[in-house]
């Protein structure tokens, strides 16, 4: 049984068309279960522990990432070989390679190191600093915690992450105030930010375009993964 940890609804919808409850285990058939946990390492750790305790024998961190390597663009898939958190945490390379072999040739796939961060990186400088400190090509907030739980339990771990924002363009700090715990937008707060000029329409349109490209890649992974993620491709939402 594959246990899939995902932070945001926009990520979860690439795996299932069902409206998931927040912060709870949901079965995706016989092969997988998903836990929509919200952003951050604490939430991801609790989700991973819950999935493992409920019988999942492998764990996946699934969703979006930020680029640390300037050559990575929105829509590029990152299948890391290790996670840089407080220590270096392993990815099951046999599992990673099996998934990689199932994917279509048109997908751009990066390997290397995925860094864990305790916060959203909102500047190119912060991304470059983390890249220099870790040697990582990409960053997210949840994979480190999920990898840690898997390592402690002695079960396989896999990260499936797609670049949503390149090094030179990040979500502005003000925008984080308009995001709910499950990653969905608080429209009233978003409108207020627009009216105040704290966030521009151009920025929102660019972020939305990047997100569409990233989701298309996540959908392609689910469509071609077969049994590797335990999710039937016809469950995914277009």
> What is the pTM assigned to this prediction?
0.93
What pLDDT is attached to residue 238? 45
Please state, for a pLDDT cut of 70, what percent of the chain lies above it.
Answer: 97
Helices (H), the chain: 9-12, 41-53, 93-102, 124-134, 143-153, 187-196, 201-225
For the four alpha carbons of 40, 73, 88 and 133, in that order, the dihedral sign comes to negative
Q: How confident is the model at residue 235 (pLDDT cuts 50, 70, 90)?
A: low
Residue 24 reports pLDDT greater than 60: yes
pLDDT of residue 177: 87
Structural domains of the chain in order of their starting residue, each with its CATH number? 2-226 (3.40.50.1580)
Q: Is the pLDDT of residue 237 over 70?
A: no
Residue 89: which H helix or E strand, with range?
strand 88-90
Mean pLDDT for the stretch of residues 154-177? 94
The whole-number average pLDDT for the span 12-35 is: 93
């Amino acid at each position: 049984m594959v246990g899939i940890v995902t932070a945001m609804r926009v990520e979860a919808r690439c795996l299932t068309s069902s409206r998931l409850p927040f912060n709870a285990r949901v079965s995706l058939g016989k092969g997988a279960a998903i836990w929509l946990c919200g952003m951050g390492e604490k939430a991801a750790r609790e989700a991973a522990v819950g999935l493992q305790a409920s019988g999942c024998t492998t764990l996946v961190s699934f969703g979006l990432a930020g680029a640390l390597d300037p050559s990575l663009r929105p829509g590029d898939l990152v299948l890391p070989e290790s996670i840089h958190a407080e220590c270096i945490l392993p990815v099951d390379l046999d599992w990673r390679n099996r998934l990689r072999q199932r994917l279509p040739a048109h997908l751009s796939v990066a390997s290397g190191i995925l860094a864990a961060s305790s916060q959203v990186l909102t500047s190119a400088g912060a991304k470059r600093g983390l890249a220099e400190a870790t040697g990582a090509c990409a960053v997210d907030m949840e994979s480190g915690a999920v990898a840690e739980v898997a390592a402690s339990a002695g079960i396989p771990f896999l990260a499936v992450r797609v670049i949503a924002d390149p090094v030179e363009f990040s979500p502005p700090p003000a925008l984080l105030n308009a995001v709910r715990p499950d990653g969905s937008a608080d429209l009233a707060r978003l409108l207020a930010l627009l009216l105040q000029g704290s966030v521009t329409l151009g920025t929102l349109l660019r972020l939305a375009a990047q997100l569409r490209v990233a989701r298309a890649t996540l959908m392609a992974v689910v469509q071609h993964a077969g049994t590797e993620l335990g999710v039937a491709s016809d469950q995914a939402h277009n």
